[in-house]
Amino acid sequence: MRSAAETQRGILAMLIGGALFVVNDALVKLATETLPIGQLLVVRGFFAILCMVCIIFAMGYTKHIRSAARPVVLLRASLEFVVSLLYVTAISHLPISDLTSIMQATPIIMTVLCAVLRIEIVSWQRWAAVLVGFVGVLLITQPGGSSFSIFTLAALDSATFVALRDLVTPRIGADIPPPVVILTTTIFAAGGGFLLGLSESWVTLQVTEYVYLAGAAIIVSAANVLMVIAYRNADISLLSPLRYTVVVWAAIAGLVVFGELPGLIAAIGTLMIVVSGLYTGYQERARNRKAQHIPDIAT
């Protein structure tokens, strides 16, 4: 069992990391107004690699760099690259609040994956929560409506790969420092962006765009490190409900920075996803307590 200090560290890392991801999203969305996706991933990746290398040297983790080539680390990096590609594609065309809400379907997708891959047995209560969350996703995406597009599908695919990434993350050994894990991720993202950029027409960056991408690189690097710390120090069932704090931050960012105001139907869908995820997290914690013969006392 994890200690109270480890759990608190994981919770704090999740809360701060979630807020930083929203700031990164806002900066990336601003940059997508003028930059092609491949170029954006390369430039942001360049700054992120510099950031992580500095952190690794500053913290004395250079002796761990070889461990970045472990298969599980490379698998996580590959999944993270797909997440980044799909997410940047989606955020360039979708309201930031809607995109963030769609991404909150990740715990629901994780439940489905756990059942399909036979990682665990899913109770009918959790399947009911999945159904509620699925309806919430439909209300936000509105398939068949004028707002539904290929970018909506990109957001849903991104959420699926986030779930796969999060299932892999706890399997990375604690002997590998988080900055080393994230360095591998940023290298993969930048390399993938370069390959994508071969079919794009790149543009000359202005000072403002450099500021956006440098800031996004530093912030997303810090956020990714915090996510690794979170999943190493606290149980997934405890952390999953905390994802929903980003919904509030995304709504504020969308309104203040982009003037986006979510519609009533999307707001109802978001609420359904949040309720579904919270209940799923509660059921998981109850299951863990029962397995450990600890009374499930409501708090």
Q: What is the pLDDT of residues 32-79, one digit of tens each?
A: 889 999 999 999 999 989 988 998 998 899 999 888 889 999 999 999
Give, in order, the Cα–Cα distances in Å from 197 to each of 3, 124, 155, 191. Answer: 46, 46, 21, 10
- The mean per-residue pLDDT over the stretch 115-128 comes to 75
- The mean per-residue pLDDT over the stretch 215-229 comes to 86
Lookup result for tokens 């999307």: 266
Asked if residue 146 belongs to a domain, the reply is yes
Across the chain, mean pLDDT equals 83
Asked if residue 297 belongs to a domain, the reply is no
Q: Is 116 exposed, middle or buried (0-12, 13-18, 19+ CB in 10 A)?
A: exposed
The pLDDT, as a whole number, for residue 256 is: 84
Asked if residue 298 belongs to a domain, the reply is no
Residue 263 pLDDT > 90? no
The pLDDT, as a whole number, for residue 133 is: 76
Comparing 11 with 158, which gets the higher pLDDT? Answer: 158
Comparing 48 with 290, which gets the higher pLDDT? Answer: 48
- The mean per-residue pLDDT over the stretch 200-219 comes to 91
Q: Is 290 exposed, middle or buried (0-12, 13-18, 19+ CB in 10 A)?
A: exposed
Comparing 176 with 111, which gets the higher pLDDT? Answer: 176
- The mean per-residue pLDDT over the stretch 257-278 comes to 79
Comparing 94 with 104, which gets the higher pLDDT? Answer: 94
Domain span holding position 105:
4-291
- The mean per-residue pLDDT over the stretch 261-271 comes to 79
Give, in order, the Cα–Cα distances in Å from 201 to each of 38, 82, 115. Answer: 10, 21, 43
Residue type, 220: V
What is this structure's pTM?
Answer: 0.74
Cβ atoms of residues 213 and 250 within 8 Å: no
Give how many domains the chain has, as a whole number.
1
Lookup result for tokens 């003037």: 259
- The mean per-residue pLDDT over the stretch 77-99 comes to 89
Asked if residue 116 belongs to a domain, the reply is yes
Where does the pLDDT of residue 23 fall: very low under 50, low under 70, confident under 90, or very high at 90 and above? very high
Asked if residue 99 belongs to a domain, the reply is yes
The pLDDT, as a whole number, for residue 296 is: 44
DSSP the chain: ---HHHHHHHHHHHHHHHHHHHHHHHHHHHHTTTS-HHHHHHHHHHHHHHHHHHHHHHTT-GGGGGGGGSHHHHHHHHHHHHHHHHHHHHHTTS-HHHHHHHHTTHHHHHHHHHHHTTSSPPPHHHHHHHHHHHHHHHHHH-TTSTT--HHHHHHHHHHHHHHHHHHHGGGS-TTS-HHHHHHHHHHHHHHHHHHHHTTS---PPPHHHHHHHHHHHHHHHHHHHHHHHHHHHS-HHHHGGGGGHHHHHHHHHHHHHH-----HHHHHHHHHHHHHHHHHHHHHHHHHHHHTT------
Comparing 274 with 11, which gets the higher pLDDT? Answer: 11
pLDDT in tens, 129-168: 778 877 887 777 777 666 678 998 999 999 999 989 888 8
In the chain, what is the straight-line distance between the N-terminal and C-terminal CA atoms, in Å?
A: 20
Cβ atoms of residues 254 and 29 within 8 Å: no
- The mean per-residue pLDDT over the stretch 281-297 comes to 58
Asked if residue 107 belongs to a domain, the reply is yes
Residue 287 pLDDT > 70? no
Lowest mean pLDDT across 78-92, 108-122, 194-208: 108-122
Asked if residue 296 belongs to a domain, the reply is no
- The mean per-residue pLDDT over the stretch 186-203 comes to 90
Asked if residue 72 belongs to a domain, the reply is yes
Where does the pLDDT of residue 26 fall: very low under 50, low under 70, confident under 90, or very high at 90 and above? very high
The pLDDT, as a whole number, for residue 49 is: 92
Residue 238 pLDDT > 90? no
Measured CA to CA, the distance from residue 48 to residue 176 in angstroms comes to 19
Residue 20 pLDDT > 90? yes
The pLDDT, as a whole number, for residue 210 is: 92
Where does the pLDDT of residue 297 fall: very low under 50, low under 70, confident under 90, or very high at 90 and above? very low
Residue 284 pLDDT > 70? no
Cβ atoms of residues 166 and 119 within 8 Å: no
